[in-house]
Amino acid sequence: MNQDNQFMLTPFNLPNGVELKNRLVMAPMTNFSSNPDGTVSDAEVSYYARRASGVSMVITACTYVTPNGKGFHGEFAGDKDEMIPSLTRLAKAIKEKGAKAILQIFHGGRMCPPELVPNGEIVSASDVPAERGGKSTEDPDVKPRALTEHEVEEIIKAFGETTRRAIEAGYDGVEIHGANGYLIQQFFSPHSNRREDRFGGSLEKRMTFPLAIVEEVQRVVKEHATPEFIVGYRFSPEEPETPGITMGDTLKLVDTLAEKGLDYLHVSLADFFSTARRGVEDTNKTRIAYLLETINNRVPLIGVGSIYTAEDARKAFKTGVPLLAIGRGLIIEPDWVQKVAEDKENEIVTKIDKTKQKELVIPDPLWNAIIHTPGWFPGV
């Protein structure tokens, strides 16, 4: 075997003592394929099971913690106890293949389609429409409503309740989804958070909501799970909006999160090697380099972003990240990890084969999204 590949296949211990069998993780990706009632579909279970054998952890697509947090058509639910059997099916399918099952928990905030939430009312930190994505971007009549302090507290508790359901459903952990412009990020962002109460204002006050969710999730884990239960946090490094989150803002958030006893942090990047845009001195330096420097080995960082070949992964690991998530690469090539392990990296498929939906075990809604979104996947 290529000696440089050996590293990515070595076990890794998380801060809570859990051993991951290797350093490769399936990234969380929306698949639009759950049943209309919020339960996991058979096609979805098969899709995850097909990809769970090689990686050490599978982080699921996001599951919403309250009815007004549903961000996608075909998103599965974690907002009530009746969903525990559905959640259990997915955890079991992933774990049976030898991977840790991590449930990503989320609220879509102002990015929720109005037709998916009660009374069509979308909510956020403040009543500021999104500038990109989401209905409020294109329709001036659709504006998010600012959550009351009481409602904010209820959503914090809901993240804890969904964590309890994940524990009861047999998951190995949860990932708090603080990235990609959804509600947790909306509270951290000066674009979407114009509040003047304890949840808004200064950078420190805009951290109040994300940190309260971390604390509530950890409180529930302490009460209901064993110490081996994994808690991770995902974040996006920057926003293009003005005002918006800068790399400097994120480094302050990450510096704080690194002290919170989490098991990992997970950056959301389209390109692993992308450089910082603003809020830092050197915009030629990669975001990953800045993050690793700030974290300074206090908590493991999962890197991600357009990793398709073993060479891409080798280059990424050389930066010093301990763990790497693969997203589209695993949809295109479900046997990615096995091929590296078997010295067949030259057989890794790196472009979607439009004739192989069935062999790739990709549910129809996800397949249709891939085929009709040019540029999203290589080969389309």
**Whole-prediction pTM:** 0.98
CB atoms within 10 A of CB 118: 9
Give CA–CA dist 312/290, Å, rounded: 20
47 is catalytic: no
Instruction: Please list the rounded mean pLDDT of every run of 10 residues in the chain (380 residues).
Output: 88 98 98 98 98 98 98 98 98 98 98 97 98 92 96 98 98 99 98 98 98 98 98 98 97 98 98 97 97 98 98 98 98 98 97 96 98 94
- Confidence at residue 4, expressed as pLDDT on a 0 to 100 scale: 81
Q: Number of structural domains, the chain?
A: 1
User: Where on the phi/psi map is residue 142: left (φ > 0), alpha (ψ -120 to 50), or beta?
Assistant: beta
pLDDT of residue 256: 98
Q: What is the CATH number of the domain that holds 54?
A: 3.20.20.70
In a domain, 379, yes or no: no
Asked whether residue 190 is domain-assigned, the answer is yes
Q: Domain for residue 376, yes or no?
A: no
Instruction: Please check whether residue 125 lies inside any domain of the structure.
Output: yes
Q: How far apart are alpha carbons 288 and 316 in whole angstroms?
A: 9
Predicted pLDDT of residue 141 = 87
Q: Is residue 378 part of a domain?
A: no
Q: Of residues 64, 182, 264, 290, which has the active-site annotation?
A: 182
**Residue 15: predicted pLDDT:** 98
Residue 10 lies in a domain: yes
Residue 168 lies in a domain: yes
What is the distance between the alpha carbons of residues 93 and 74, in angstroms, rounded to a whole number? 19
On whether residue 26 sits in a domain, the answer given is: yes
Q: Which domain holds residue 175?
A: 3-371
